[in-house]
Amino acid sequence: MNKTLRGLILAGLIFCLQACTDSAVIDTNQKIDNRNWTYTQKVRFPVTIEDPAKAYNVYLNLRHTADYKYSNIFVLIHQSGPGMKTSTERREFKLAYPDGEWLGSGSGNFYTYQLQFRENYKFPSKGIYTFEFEQNMRDNPLREINDVGIRVEPAQEK
C-alpha cells in the first residue's frame, strides 16, 4: 500500500471517529422496577449546564416492551434550577401509528424512543438543573415501561 493511500485511509478514519463522538451533556436512563411505572416513582436527573449562551435540545428517553398497551404516553415534566421558577408541563408523546406499528426503533421485544420536548432551548444561567419525569396515564402502575431517561445535547447551529 503506498503512502498516499495509507494517508487517505488514516484521514478517513480520523474524520469518522470525530464525527461519531457524542457531544451530549447527558444521555442516561433509569430502569423501572419490574417494568411497572407508578405515579409515585418520579424519575429524576440532574443536568449540569456550563454554557448558558448555547442552545440545547432536550429529549425524554423511553423504552417499553411490545406488550405496552397504548399508542401514546402522557408525562409530567418538572424542571427546576438556578434563575428559574420550578415549572411543570404535561406532554403527550405518540408512540405508534394508528395501525399499531411502533414508531420507536425496535430490538427484540423492546422499542426505544428519544422524544424531543425542548428545541433550541437556552437555560437561564450556568448551574445544575433538575428534570423529573412522572407518568400521567390512567393506569397505576403503567405496565411494560422498561427505562426512562434524558438526553441534553447542544442544538445544531443553523
Once rounded to an integer, what is the mean pLDDT over residues 108-116? 96
- Does residue 42 have a pLDDT over 50? yes
Question: Grid coordinates in use for 46?
Answer: 440532574
Q: CB count, 10 Å around CB of 115?
A: 18
Question: Grid coordinates in use for 65?
Answer: 416492551
Global confidence as pTM: 0.84
Domains of the chain are 24-154 (2.60.120.260)
* 19-23, 86-90, 95-99, 140-144, range with the lowest pLDDT: 19-23
Q: What φ, ψ does residue 16 adopt, rounded to 5°?
A: -65, -45
- Does residue 157 have a pLDDT over 90? no
pLDDT of 1 reads 55
Helix (H, G, I), strand (E, B) or coil at 19: helix
Instruction: Give the DSSP H/E element, type plus range, for residue 86.
Output: strand 84-94
Alpha-carbon distance of 47 to 31, in angstroms, equals 18
